[in-house]
Amino acid sequence: MSANASERLIEATRELLWERGYVGTSPKAIQQAAGAGQGSMYHHFAGKPALALAAIRRTAQELRAAAETALGGTGPAYARIEAYLLRERDVLRGCPVGRLTMDPDVMADAELRAPVDETLDWLRGRLAGIVQEGLDSGEFSPSLDARETAAAIVATIQGGYVLARAAGSPAAFDTAVRGLLALLSPRTAR
């Protein structure tokens, strides 16, 4: 039961951080959402910061795993990047990691911020490696820079979430992704 309570607390905190941010996620709200008492929460975690850190780490791990499912496939670089860009997302909720960058309390705390920074750095690095594969194979235009292109892909995704949320429609996200894919289309397809 205790491991189950710990898991419920982490999952409840993940959801609340995504919806409400750090300040809006009170220990009482976490306990209510998890169906766990105060004693259970403090038995498993030293306090809200420790629980938030566990939740942020879990969110970061899941984002990496979902990205790697698309990026780690076989096939040309473009197809793998396309699979990542077109993968299933809850666009109107935004990126659970990206939204943490807009939370001043998370960004002000080096320990809470670390999994966010590490995940975004990992994603840019992973994408840069795939773009470099495409450059090396002649699939992409030699005018592309792998690191800059990877940064543009991440910026398009994160900016697409913001634009979609602002418009209340995933159309802005979808348009940004289609535009980026057109820009990246392999040289043979142009």
Q: Which residues contact 74 (CB under 8 A, 6 or more apart)?
A: none
**pLDDT for residue 2:** 55
The full 3-state SS of 76-102, as one line of letters, equals CHHHHHHHHHHCCCCHHHCCCCHHHHH
The per-residue pLDDT string of the chain (190 residues; one tens digit each, 9 = 90 and over) reads: 455 989 999 999 999 998 898 998 999 999 999 998 888 888 889 989 999 999 999 999 999 999 999 999 889 999 999 999 999 999 999 899 998 998 999 999 999 999 999 999 999 999 999 999 999 999 999 999 999 999 999 999 999 999 999 999 999 999 999 999 999 998 664 4
State in Å, rounded, how far the first CA of the chain is from the last one: 58
Q: How many CA atoms lie within 13 A of 25 on its CB side?
A: 29
The Cα–Cα gap between 60 and 101 comes to 12
